[in-house]
A and B are shown apart, each in its own frame.
Chain A
Amino acid sequence: GAVVSQHPSRVICKSGTSVKIECRSLDFQATTMFWYRQFPKQSLMLMATSNEGSKATYEQGVEKDKFLINHASLTLSTLTVTSAHPEDSSFYICSASDNPYNTGELFFGEGSRLTVL
């Protein structure tokens, strides 16, 4: 299947700093990418949907000014956690579709574990 890569896989930062996580589709063009967050022992929760060249669509309860999403090209989407706090510590996962109608499977990145001290 297609490959989606995330970077960094782990990041530790101080409270109040901003952290950028990259999501790349390595061998296909992704018109749509999704960002999820997963807290320990919980399921994945969709944060936002990112479409290339347009503004992201955020799920209810997710602050768009805190979680900045940029999808500037068909192979790259970035999630920036601004002014991170300890409660933002989580496992962030992106997924991408190579099917513009999203009828096929989604391909997931390896995840990025953020720890805010």
Chain B
Amino acid sequence: DAKTTQPTSMDCAEGRAANLPCNHSTISGNEYVYWYRQIHSQGPQYIIHGLKNNETNEMASLIITEDRKSSTLILPHATLRDTAVYYCIVRVGGGSQGNLIFGKGTKLSVKP
């Protein structure tokens, strides 16, 4: 699976949009981009995933560049409860072993 690069930490003001970048320049054509987050001392929580089209759900939006070498997770109105470590992961779909390889992620701190 391709490696990803994320900033170590980011701050965001409560109520503002949080934009979390991720670089995955060696991503293959059959690899999906997944985002998970982990609030302290809890298991990871699925946020969103995509292949090449932008995706939106009730939690966030995922913007994937046309060349698929980078993506951005957008939390439109961050709250204090969004403080967590956010993991960007790429992995192959479609029949192969689907375990997730976690990097170090971005520690997002939402401040009042």
Question: Which of A's residues lie within 8 Å of B, judged by CB?
Answer: 1, 4, 6, 32, 34, 36, 43-46, 49, 91, 93, 95, 97, 99, 101-111, 113
**Is the Cβ of B46 less than 8 Å from the Cβ of A1?**
yes
**Is the Cβ of A106 less than 8 Å from the Cβ of B96?**
no
Give CA–CA (A108, B98) in the complex, Å: 14
B80 within 8 A of A: no
Q: List 27 A-B contacts (CB under 8 A).
A: A4-B43, A36-B102, A43-B87, A43-B103, A44-B100, A44-B102, A45-B102, A46-B99, A46-B101, A95-B100, A97-B98, A99-B98, A101-B93, A102-B93, A102-B99, A103-B98, A104-B49, A105-B49, A106-B46, A106-B98, A106-B100, A108-B36, A109-B43, A110-B43, A111-B41, A111-B42, A113-B41
**Is the Cβ of A34 less than 8 Å from the Cβ of B93?**
no
A39 to chain B, nearest CB (A): 12
**Is the Cβ of B96 less than 8 Å from the Cβ of A108?**
no
What is the interface of chain B mostly: helix, strand, loop, or mixed? loop
**Is the Cβ of A102 less than 8 Å from the Cβ of B103?**
no
Chain B residues within an 8 Å CB radius of A97 = 98
Query: Do A102 and B43 contact each other (CB < 8 Å), given the known contacts A43-B102, A43-B104, A43-B105?
Result: no
Give CA–CA (A12, B63) in the complex, Å: 43
Query: Do A110 and B42 contact each other (CB < 8 Å), given the known contacts A43-B104, A43-B105, A105-B34?
Result: yes
Chain A residues within an 8 Å CB radius of B45 = 108
Query: Do A102 and B41 contact each other (CB < 8 Å), given the known contacts A43-B104, A44-B102?
Result: no
Chain A residues within an 8 Å CB radius of B103 = 43
- Minimum-distance CB pairs A-B, first 3: A102-B98, A108-B43, A103-B93
Instruction: Name the residue of chain B whose CB is nearest to the CB of A93.
Output: B43
Chain A residues within an 8 Å CB radius of B100 = 34, 44, 46, 95, 106
